[in-house]
Amino acid sequence: MQLIEVNSAEEKKEFLRMAVRLYKQEKDWIQPLDNDIEGLFDPNTNKLFKQGGKAKRWLLKDDDKHTIGRVAAFINPKWKEKQPTGGLGFFECIHDEKAAFLLFDTAKAWLEKQGMEAMDGPVNFGERDKWWGLLVDGFSPPNYNMPWNFSYYQDLFERYGFQVYFKQYTYMRSVYGVTIEAKMEGRAKEILADPDFQFRYLKGKELWGKFPEYFMKVYNKAWARHMGKSISEREAKLMLTKMKPIIDPRLVYFGFHKGEPVSFFINIPEINQLFKHVNGSLDLIGKLRFLWHKTFNPPDKMLGLVFGVVPELQGKGVESAMIISYRDMIDKENLPYKTIEMNWIGDFNPKMMRVCEQLNAKIYKTHHTYRYLFDREKPFERHPMFT
């Protein structure tokens, strides 16, 4: 076997194409957009490089020069851990332990040279909302920018010595006919009867003009301390711009108290149901296919991206009121979506898991984020719990 560091244009292309060949018989695998992956390794599009981040990729060839595996390793300057920790991602490999372990060893050796003491994987060279975790249960088609992998990968990771750092749960429920706990509904009615509260989706100029401000205010109070960073209004506007081609305004829902935003529930149509038709490329033909299916074969699944309530109102019924109000709006608007999947929730976040359970949502998929400590004598610690 031969390892090749990815540098040339042809090697970069092979890094993408080998996965297409590997999964060609798998009906549930959806080919990611080439630009979504390649953009992560481009210093011109991934700002982490400018902040001191590093990334390397390798291909693994057999004796006949056929590609049988690939892997990438990352140094993310935003990670703040007890021990310096790197990332391993975009791992693909035939069902061969020797080949897989060689790829793991290669990533580990490079990370050790960079001063790392552990590696998490499989992860992404960016935020946790993309290509994060190894699918271990619920082998159905992936949501946009989420991984799908062979079931034997779990055995390869765990035989090598990776341990579960945290589990990621994707919850699913029907959009219509939702019932919730009586206690939860009672608290919601108290909030909904209070004229100081209002819950609604944003329309027209308010959506395009005020969303960044509203989102930033709630996110920075509700999520920033957990995610390790706050978001600027400019970043929120960029997020909205990226969602614009597929956004359904009725899926962007906010709560207000005395006119100030205090909660949100951000959803989008699940666009992998469209991207599965474009063969990884949004060239002219890909765009035409995308538009045709968007018009005549639109998604019937919603993807819940993020749910948040400002800390001072958490546990006081606002979560329940948001959910009840949103449920009633959906029934009134007669939306075309049949199911909703919530973007993954870590097992370190029991509060959000409880919210999903109160909605009668069920765990539909499970991913594992693994950690491998280079010092094999060092005690292993799982991800700290959110409080």
As to burial, measured by CB atoms within 10 angstroms (0-12 exposed, 13-18 middle, 19+ buried), residue 91 is buried
Is residue 316 scored above 60 in pLDDT?
Answer: yes
Identify the band that residue 56 occupies on the pLDDT scale cut at 50, 70 and 90: very high
> Could you give the CA distance from residue 123 to residue 114 in angstroms, rounded to a whole number?
18
Q: Where are the domains of the chain?
A: 2-166+369-373, 176-337
**In sequence order, what are the residues at sequence separation of 6 or more whose Cβ sits closer than 8 angstroms to the Cβ of residue 7?**
none
Is residue 241 scored above 90 in pLDDT?
Answer: no
Is residue 200 scored above 80 in pLDDT?
Answer: yes
Is residue 158 scored above 90 in pLDDT?
Answer: yes
Identify the band that residue 226 occupies on the pLDDT scale cut at 50, 70 and 90: low
Q: Cα dihedral angle (382, 133, 323, 352), rounded to 10 degrees?
A: 0
| Superfamily holding 2-166+369-373 | Gcn5-related N-acetyltransferase (GNAT) (3.40.630.30)
Predicted confidence at residue 146, as pLDDT, reads 92
Give the phi and the psi of residue 104 in degrees, each rounded to 5.
-60, -45
8 Å CB contact between 84 and 378? no
Predicted confidence at residue 161, as pLDDT, reads 97
Predicted confidence at residue 102, as pLDDT, reads 97
Average pLDDT over residues 279-284: 86
2-166+369-373 and 176-337 agree in CATH topology: yes
Predicted confidence at residue 378, as pLDDT, reads 94
Identify the band that residue 154 occupies on the pLDDT scale cut at 50, 70 and 90: very high
Identify the band that residue 105 occupies on the pLDDT scale cut at 50, 70 and 90: very high
Is residue 29 scored above 70 in pLDDT?
Answer: yes
* 61 three-state secondary structure: strand
Mean pLDDT in the chain? 90
Q: Which amino acid is at 213?
A: E
Return the CATH class of domain 176-337. Answer: alpha beta
The two tokens of residue 43 are: 């210093």
Q: What DSSP state is assigned to residue 298?
A: -
Is residue 164 scored above 90 in pLDDT?
Answer: yes
Strands (E) located in the chain: 2-5, 54-61, 67-75, 85-93, 118-121, 134-137, 163-174, 197-201, 252-257, 260-269, 301-309, 339-342, 345-346, 362-373
> Could you give the CA distance from residue 251 to residue 243 in angstroms, rounded to a whole number?
12
